[in-house]
Amino acid sequence: MLGSLADGSVIVERYGDGPIDVVALHGWGRPATDFSKVLEGYNAASVYLPGFGTIDPPPRAWVPADYAEWLLPALDPERPPILVGHSFGGRIAVRLAARHPERVSGLALTGVPLTKLHQAKGPDWRYALIRSLHGMGVVSDKQMESARRRFGSADYRAATGVMRDVLVHTVGEDYLDDVATLSMPVELVWGEFDRPAPLQVAKIALERLAHGRLTVADGSEHLLDDTLRGHLRDAIERLRATQVGS
């Protein structure tokens, strides 16, 4: 059921009718309904992030920390929820939990690009040449955009306007320093064959967590399939049990 939080500024898919215990944040280009099977039966909300689907983009090129500050008023300070984050949504969840730990009771993260395993390669030489010629006025704006679409990633090609800038500003960020500060329990649920956020990323993050646990979804990749969703539900249950025991 569609609903809203923070005086209508945060649009959500609402589950249950009690105080919200779980808040989910979707991945890049994904809908809030990705979590429907995960959140069924909980008092929960899955957030529609600005710039995706029919939700207006942010007023400028936000990074995940900006999304985190935007989301903060939607979290009940008297009842800190569990945050569930997939990919881009997990970036936001980590930034929020690191900066406002008192507002989050636990984290369940899946497929989050928390760090890069290898040094990023420079742009294709052909793209670099076209960009240089564009800077000199030899290549038109139309030709430059064609080159961006040819050499950019699928997400980059699909993004337009401010959301393309959001993507560019976000992809180079590293989250391991934030991960090392997290004091709440953190569940890492990872696809065995995740390529955008390889399993090794989760293993590196696990070493830095004070209270972390890693679950590997055999055969799963990056997007939320039924196996990953099932493991996420198990992770939420463990985090809820921690709340009851605290």
Same-domain check for residues 54 and 89: yes
Q: Which of 4, 23, 2, 37 is nearest to 233 (CA)?
A: 37
Give this prediction's pTM. Answer: 0.86
Same-domain check for residues 152 and 187: no
Same-domain check for residues 203 and 148: no
Same-domain check for residues 56 and 94: yes
Same-domain check for residues 51 and 161: no
Same-domain check for residues 139 and 229: no
Same-domain check for residues 194 and 112: yes
Same-domain check for residues 42 and 84: yes
Report the pLDDT value the prediction gives residue 135, as an integer from 0 to 100.
77
| Token pair of 183 as six digits | 């004091």
| Token pair of 140 as six digits | 């038109």
Range of weakest confidence among 30-44, 116-130, 183-197: 116-130
pLDDT digits (tens, 9 = 90+) for 66-115: 999 999 999 999 999 999 999 999 999 999 999 999 999 999 999 999 99
Query: Between 49 and 135, where is the model more confident?
Result: 49
Same-domain check for residues 67 and 179: yes
What's the mean per-residue pLDDT of the chain?
Answer: 90
Same-domain check for residues 143 and 240: no
CA distance readout (Å), 48 to 12, 88, 141, 188, 235: 6, 12, 32, 22, 22
pLDDT digits (tens, 9 = 90+) for 134-170: 578 866 877 756 755 565 567 666 677 899 999 999 9
Q: Which of 74, 70, 113, 69 is nearest to 90 (CA)?
A: 113
Provide the residue range defining the domain that includes 157. Answer: 125-167
Same-domain check for residues 59 and 146: no
| CATH code where residue 201 lies | 3.40.50.1820
Same-domain check for residues 84 and 138: no
Report the pLDDT value the prediction gives residue 18, as an integer from 0 to 100.
93
239 contacts: CB under 8 Å, gap ≥ 6: 82, 105, 106, 107, 108, 185, 187
Tally the domains of the chain.
Answer: 2
